[in-house]
Amino acid sequence: MELLILHTGVLVRDSKDARGETLAFDREAWTAFLSRIMR
């Protein structure tokens, strides 16, 4: 997994899938995602 952390959000992609999509999370969505998985 590769993460590109920006001031406005985060881009995530599977580093082993050359044709895979990149997921874009705005700052609020990324924070909500992290808080959900950290429970």
Residue ranges of domains in the chain: 2-37
Report the sign of the C-alpha dihedral through residues 15, 21, 27, 28, in that order: negative
pTM of the complete model beyond 0.85: no
Q: Per-residue pLDDT tens for 1-39?
A: 999 999 999 999 999 998 989 999 999 999 999 999 998
Nearest to 10 by CA among 19, 28, 36: 28
Taking residue 4's Cβ as centre, other Cβ atoms within 10 Å add up to: 11
CA 10/CA 7 separation, integer angstroms: 8
